[in-house]
C-alpha cells in the first residue's frame, strides 16, 4: 500500500487497492470484528461535497442492498468516515471475467455455465426493478475455477424504486470502456432503457466468451469463429444483439430458457450417440464371441477378456469423436444458420447509414483485391481516369439482410442523442441524363442489396467509365464505396470517397462522402486515425452547414473525444476544457432544432457545472427545457438546483422549480423547495 492511501476507513483496515473508477476507489480491507476480508468502495473526497455524486454513490449501494443473490456481489455495510462516504461488499477471491478472457478462450461448457450465472444475476436485478446498464466483462467477478460468478458495479444502474432522481453519470463516466457493450438505444437516451438493454449487453459478453472478440461492424457468426460452438447457438446470440429492443428476448427468463434447452439438446445428443454405439457394439460382441462362451478353455476366456477391453476403448473413443464432430464440424452450405457468413452489427446501421465502428474485424476478409483497367468509352477512346478501387469481379459474399432500419447510436456518449435514422439517399433525378444511367444505377444498387457485390462493382466501373461527366457519377462512387465497405476492403472504399471529395467539392451530397470517409478512417489502421477522423467530422459542418449530415458528424466527433478524454483550450472560456464541450456547444448553437441538441445541452449543463461556470450551466439547462418541452431530462429541476444552491437567486429558483412537470421524479421535491423559498 502506498503512503497516499489511507490505512483505515470506518473501522476497516486497508490492505491494498483493487481498482479505481469514476465513482470511487475499491480497496481490499479487513473487518477486524469478524476477522474477514472485504471489499471497500470509497467515494473520493473531492466528490463528497457534490450532493449529486453522493446521491449516485448511495444509489449504487442501495441497488446492491436490494439484491440478495449468489450471482450478485453482496453488500455488508455502509457508512461515512470524516470526508469519505463508503460501502462494504463481500470480497470475491479471483479476478474479473475480462482478465480471464484476455488470457484464454473459455470452453463451450465453461461459457454456458458462466453465462447462465450472469443471466441469473440479471434476472434477480430485473425482478427488483433494477437495470444494470453497464454489463461488461470487467463488471463480472469470477473465481479461479469459474465456479463463482457475481455481477458488480451497479454505479449507473436504473433503480425505479429507490432513486430520488433517475439520472445518469456524466457523459465521460458512462461511455468509459463500455462503448461496444451498450445497447443502441442506450447511447441515444440513457434514462429510457429497460431490461432489454441488459440483454443486449449480455449478448455481447456471450459473443466475446465464444469468439474472443466483440461484435462490432461486420461480424461472423460464433460458430464460424469457434468450431466448438454449435450452430444452434447462433440464433440465441443474434436475438440478444438485435438492434430493435422489440426483436430481442423480452426477459432474461426467456433467454435462460433458450440456453438451458440448447444445453439439454447437446447432452441428449451425446447420450443418443452413446446408445447407438452401445447397440452396434453389442451386436458385434454377440456375433464375434459366441464361440468363446461355449468353450471352457482358459485361453478362450483370456482372449475374450482382451477383446472386451479393446471394444470398451473403442466405445469411449467413438463417444469422444462423436462429441467432437457434433461441436467442431465446420459450417457447410447446407447449414441454414450459416447462410450469411457476415452479419451487420447494430453499430453498423443500414445500407447507407453507419459504417463499421472502431475495432471492426477484418482479419477474416479476403486480401488485396486488384483494381482493373477502365474500359474504353463508346467512341473507342480511353476513359479519362481509372475507377478508384473497383475490384475484379469475384464470387459474391452474401450479406445478412438488414432486419429493420437501425436506430443507430450516433455516438458513444450517453448524453448526446442520435439525430434519428440515417438520412435517406439522394433520389436519382431522371432529368439529369438522357441515357439509361439512372436505371443502371438502380440495378447496381439492387445487386449490392442482394449481396451480389462483385457483379455490382463491375457494373459500376463500366458506368463510371462510360459517363465521366454525368452529375449522377457521385451516386455511382458512393455505391462503389459501399460495395468495398461491405466486403471489408476499407482502403478501396476510402479511395472512392476521396474521389468524391476531390471531384464534387461543392455538391451537397459530398457531405455524406466526407462523413463516411471519417468513419472508415476510424476503422482503419492508419497512424493518428482519431485526429484525422475528428478533422473530417469537423469539415462536414464547416463545408456543408445546412446538410443533414452536419449534426451527425458533430455527434460522432463528440464520441471520439469522449472515448479519448481529450482536453483543448477553449477560446471562449479562456481555459482548458474537455474537447467534448466545444463540440457539444457548436452542435447546440448551430443546430438547436436537431434531436441531438437535446443531449448536447444536457451534457453542456453537466460540464459547465463541473467547471463551476454555473451561469452557463443554468443557461444550458434552461435552453434544453424551452427547446425540448417534452424532454425526459429533468432540466428545470437542475436549473432550479443551481439557482437555489449555487447562484443564490431565489426568484429564478422559484420560477424553475415551478416549471418542473408533474411527471418528473423530482416533482414532489420541487414543490417542497417552492414552499421553502416562498414561491
Q: For residues 79 and 10, is the Cβ–Cβ distance under 8 A?
A: yes
CA distance 493 to 486: 9
- Angstrom CA distances, 67 to 154, 275, 317, stand at 11, 44, 46
639, 625 contact by CB (below 8 A): yes
In this structure, what is the dihedral angle of CA atoms 92, 93, 99, 100, given to the nearest 10 degrees?
-110
Give CA angle at 578 (576, 580), nearest 5°: 140
C-alpha cell of 167? 439520472
634 is catalytic: no
Q: How many CB atoms lie within 10 A of CB 373?
A: 12
- Grid look-up 464547416 returns 542
How is residue 278 written as a grid cell?
Answer: 452401445
Distances (CA, A) of 115 to 95, 137, 250: 16, 11, 17
- Eight-state DSSP code of residue 151: E
C-alpha cell at 439: 436505371
- E strand or H helix at 607, and its extent? helix 596-610
Distance separating alpha carbons of residues 487 and 288, to the nearest angstrom: 58
Of the listed 134, 440, 475, 634, which one is catalytic? 134
Report yes or no: 628 and 599 within 8 Å, Cβ to Cβ. Answer: no
What is the full DSSP assignment across 255-309?
HHHHHHHHHHHHHHHHHHHHHHHHHHHHHHHHHHHHHHHH---HHHHHHHHHHHH
Q: Catalytic positions, please?
A: 134
Amino acid at each position: 500500500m502506498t503512503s497516499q492511501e489511507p490505512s483505515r476507513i470506518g473501522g476497516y483496515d486497508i490492505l491494498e487497492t483493487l481498482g479505481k473508477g469514476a465513482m470511487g476507489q475499491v480497496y481490499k480491507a479487513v473487518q477486524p470484528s469478524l476477522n474477514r476480508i472485504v471489499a471497500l468502495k470509497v467515494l473520493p473526497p473531492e466528490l463528497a461535497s457534490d450532493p449529486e455524486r453522493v446521491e449516485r454513490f448511495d444509489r449504487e449501494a442501495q441497488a446492491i442492498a436490494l439484491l440478495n443473490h449468489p450471482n450478485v456481489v453482496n453488500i455488508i455495510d455502509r457508512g461515512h468516515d470524516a470526508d469519505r462516504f463508503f460501502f462494504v461488499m463481500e470480497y470475491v477471491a479471483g479476478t474479473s471475467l475480462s482478465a480471464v478472457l484476455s488470457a484464454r478462450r473459455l470452453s463451450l461448457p465453461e461459457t454456458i455455465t458462466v453465462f447462465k450465472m450472469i443471466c441469473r444475476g440479471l434476472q434477480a436485478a430485473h425482478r427488483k426493478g433494477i437495470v444494470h446498464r453497464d454489463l461488461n466483462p470487467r463488471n463480472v467477478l469470477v473465481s479461479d475455477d469459474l465456479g463463482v460468478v457475481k455481477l458488480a458495479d451497479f454505479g449507473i444502474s436504473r433503480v425505479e424504486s429507490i432513486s430520488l432522481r433517475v439520472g445518469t453519470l456524466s457523459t465521460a463516466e458512462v461511455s468509459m470502456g463500455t462503448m461496444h457493450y451498450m445497447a443502441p438505444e442506450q447511447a441515444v437516451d440513457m434514462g429510457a432503457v429497460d431490461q432489454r438493454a441488459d440483454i443486449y449487453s449480455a449478448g455481447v459478453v456471450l459473443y466475446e466468451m465464444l469468439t474472443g472478440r466483440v461484435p462490432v461492424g461486420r461480424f461472423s457468426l460464433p460458430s464460424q469463429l469457434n468450431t466448438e460452438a454449435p450452430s444452434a447457438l447462433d440464433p440465441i446470440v443474434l436475438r440478444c444483439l438485435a438492434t430493435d429492443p422489440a426483436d430481442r428476448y423480452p426477459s432474461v427468463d426467456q433467454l435462460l430458457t433458450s440456453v438451458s434447452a440448447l444445453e439439454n439438446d447437446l447432452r441428449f445428443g451425446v447420450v443418443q450417440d452413446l446408445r447407438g454405439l452401445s447397440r452396434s457394439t453389442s451386436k458385434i460382441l454377440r456375433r464375434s464371441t459366441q464361440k468363446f462362451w461355449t468353450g471352457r478353455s482358459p485361453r478362450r476366456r483370456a482372449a475374450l477378456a482382451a477383446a472386451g477391453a479393446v471394444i470398451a476403448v473403442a466405445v469411449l473413443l467413438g463417444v469422444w469423436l462423436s462429441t467432437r464432430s457434433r461441436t467442431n464440424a465446420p459450417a457447410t452450405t447446407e447449414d441454414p444458420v450459416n447462410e450469411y457468413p457476415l452479419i451487420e452489427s447494430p453499430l453498423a446501421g443500414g445500407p447507407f447509414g453507419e459504417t463499421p465502428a472502431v475495432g471492426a474485424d477484418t482479419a477474416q476478409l479476403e486480401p488485396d483485391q486488384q483494381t482493373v483497367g477502365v474500359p474504353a468509352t463508346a467512341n473507342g477512346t480511353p476513359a479519362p481516369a481509372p475507377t478508384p478501387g473497383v475490384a475484379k469481379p469475384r464470387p459474391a459474399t452474401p450479406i445478412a439482410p438488414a432486419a429493420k432500419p437501425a436506430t443507430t447510436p450516433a455516438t458513444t456518449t450517453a448524453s448526446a442523442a442520435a439525430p434519428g435514422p440515417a438520412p435517406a439517399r439522394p433520389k436519382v433525378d431522371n432529368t439529369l441524363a438522357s441515357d439509361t444511367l439512372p436505371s443502371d444505377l438502380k440495378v447496381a444498387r439492387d445487386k449490392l442489396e442482394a449481396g451480389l457485390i462483385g457483379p455490382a462493382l463491375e457494373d459500376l466501373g463500366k458506368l463510371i467509365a462510360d459517363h465521366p461527366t454525368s452529375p449522377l457519377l457521385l451516386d455511382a462512387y458512393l455505391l462503389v464505396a459501399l460495395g468495398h465497405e461491405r466486403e471489408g476492403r476499407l482502403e478501396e472504399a476510402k479511395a472512392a470517397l476521396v474521389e468524391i471529395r476531390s471531384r464534387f467539392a461543392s455538391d451537397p451530397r459530398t457531405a455524406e462522402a466526407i462523413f463516411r470517409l471519417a468513419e472508415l478512417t476510424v476503422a482503419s489502421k492508419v497512424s493518428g486515425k482519431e485526429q484525422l477522423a475528428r478533422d473530417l467530422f469537423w469539415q462536414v459542418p464547416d463545408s456543408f452547414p445546412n446538410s443533414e449530415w452536419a449534426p451527425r458528424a458533430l455527434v460522432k466527433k463528440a464520441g471520439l473525444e469522449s472515448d479519448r478524454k481529450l482536453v483543448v483550450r477553449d477560446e471562449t472560456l479562456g481555459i482548458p476544457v474537455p474537447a467534448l464541450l466545444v463540440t457539444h456547444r457548436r452542435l447546440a448553437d448551430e443546430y438547436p432544432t436537431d434531436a441531438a441538441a437535446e443531449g448536447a445541452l444536457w451534457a453542456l449543463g453537466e460540464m459547465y457545472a463541473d467547471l463551476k461556470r454555473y451561469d452557463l450551466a443554468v443557461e444550458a439547462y434552461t435552453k434544453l427545457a424551452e427547446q425540448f418541452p417534452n424532454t425526459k431530462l429533468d432540466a428545470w429541476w437542475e436549473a432550479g438546483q443551481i439557482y437555489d444552491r449555487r447562484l443564490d437567486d431565489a426568484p429564478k429558483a422559484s420560477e424553475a422549480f415551478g416549471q418542473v412537470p408533474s411527471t418528473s421524479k423530482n416533482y414532489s421535491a420541487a414543490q417542497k423547495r417552492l414552499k421553502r423559498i416562498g414561491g
